[in-house]
Structure 1
Amino acid sequence: MPRQIFQLKVSLTDVTPAVWRRVLVPGGYTLDRVHRVIQHVMGWRDCHLHCFDIDGSQYGEPDPDGESALLDELDARLDAVVGKGGRFRYTYDFGDWWEHGVVVEDVFGADPDERYPVCVDGAQACPPEDVGGPFGYRVFLAAIADPTHPDHELMRGWIDGREFDRAAFDVGRATTLARRLA
């Protein structure tokens, strides 16, 4: 039987216009690898804690002090915790609280001529790290667009003075990063 490929649509919640990615990942990936794929196709830098909420169970990196009840993401395979049509939540950066809705759009046999993971589609640039969650991102966008905004210079410094094109998304770069780092 060929290995199963999961087509996931990952959408950042509470952000307009929508920031989303469609990615193909092997069903045999453990959730820690799915985490790395999401990080790189979305454009995050993996600087913060994260967790998956799937059917009422939470998965992530277990707390060495035992203070959180997270199940170990290294012990959970994607194909064991969700199937076609399944939905779950992935949260990144518990301070900014970037919540992503993930839908398993399809499950199919792997193409022997394809390398996985692969990002096949998406829209919009990922918000900068540590910008303050969805609310902070709205403030950031307003400030960088308006040179007279009181936080314009502060927010430009946040992105090291570079231009920020919120519509920019490069599917080829997302695939390259996901393959290299997942």
Structure 2
Amino acid sequence: MFKAANAVQIRVSIDDIEPDVWRRLVLPVHWNLEHLHLGIQAAFNWWNYHLYEFRIGGLRYGDVETLMEDATDDDPRVFDQREVRLLDFEQGAVFSYHYDFGDGWRHTVAVEEFLTLAATPKQGSCIAGERARPPEDVGGVSGYERFLEIIADREDPEYAETIRWCGGYFDPEWFDLSMTDKDLRNALRTNVKRRLYQPKPKDAPRK
């Protein structure tokens, strides 16, 4: 007997950063774009305090009231993110998620596969990923590149201030699947607290 898909596997990666920073997620198909926004925020541990939008087929989707608050007549229309569900996409679809219009973080979202799981999922889960996302408010791609240069050179005059700013430790290769999966499972809960800084290993060298 045919059973309809109840989950979707997607891959989300941050554009213009090498090596790739990415997450592979399994999400309920009934989630809409607002839920997906919260899921991406959780999967990358973004702090969710900047504006965001989705770009799909040349159209903008997001929180209409927020995005149109200071809009002019020349700005493109914003469509309600709650009216688009993950089930509405086709396998192989690719679209963009933009977060923090100042730093300009663009993410590529690829719909990899629709799944029929034994039990319909109520939460999202992270099944794979690599590398840490850049610190919030680091200044976009160019700011992140400069940030990495500074923390790699203790002789840099900006080193002490920068390493304090990021919590005393940052490893661009860091990724914890168990921690990320837990974050994603709690993505839709209210008043979720994000980690301010990357966890520091006990054996990490003193800065």
Q: Same fold (TM over 0.5)?
A: yes
SS at match of 1:181: coil
Residue of structure 1 equivalent to 2:182:
176
SS at match of 1:163: coil
SS at match of 2:95: strand
Amino acid across the alignment from 1:73 = Q
Q: Say if 1:40 and 1:174, in contact at 8 Å, map to a contact too.
A: yes
Amino acid across the alignment from 1:157 = R
Tell me the TM-score normalized by structure 2.
0.81
Residue of structure 2 equivalent to 1:23:
25
In the TM superposition, what is the alpha-carbon distance from 1:73 to its structure 2 partner?
1.0
Aligned ranges 1:49-64 → 2 under 5 Å: 49-63=51-65
Amino acid across the alignment from 1:177 = D
Q: Say if 2:12 and 2:108, in contact at 8 Å, map to a contact too.
A: yes
SS at match of 1:63: helix
Q: Say if 2:28 and 2:121, in contact at 8 Å, map to a contact too.
A: no
Q: Would you say 1:125 and 2:127 are equivalent positions?
A: no
Match of 2:119 among 112, 131, 145: 112
SS at match of 2:138: coil
Tell me the TM-score normalized by structure 1.
0.92
Structure 1 stretches of 4+ moved >6 Å: none
Residue of structure 1 equivalent to 2:83:
75
Residue of structure 2 equivalent to 1:85:
92
Residue of structure 1 equivalent to 2:148:
141
Amino acid across the alignment from 1:94 = F
Q: Alignment length, in residue pairs?
A: 180
Gap regions ≥5 residues in structure 2: 189-207
SS at match of 2:150: helix
Pair 1:35–1:113, CA change in 2 (3 A): closer
In the TM superposition, what is the alpha-carbon distance from 1:17 to its structure 2 partner?
1.4
Pair 1:29–1:3, CA change in 2 (3 A): same
Amino acid across the alignment from 2:185 = R
Structure 1 or 2, whichever has the larger Rg, is 2
Q: Say if 1:43 and 1:125, in contact at 8 Å, map to a contact too.
A: no
Amino acid across the alignment from 1:89 = S
Matched-pair identity in %: 34
Match of 2:49 among 41, 44, 47: 47
Q: In the aligned structure 2, how far is the partner of 1:140 from the partner of 1:105?
A: 33
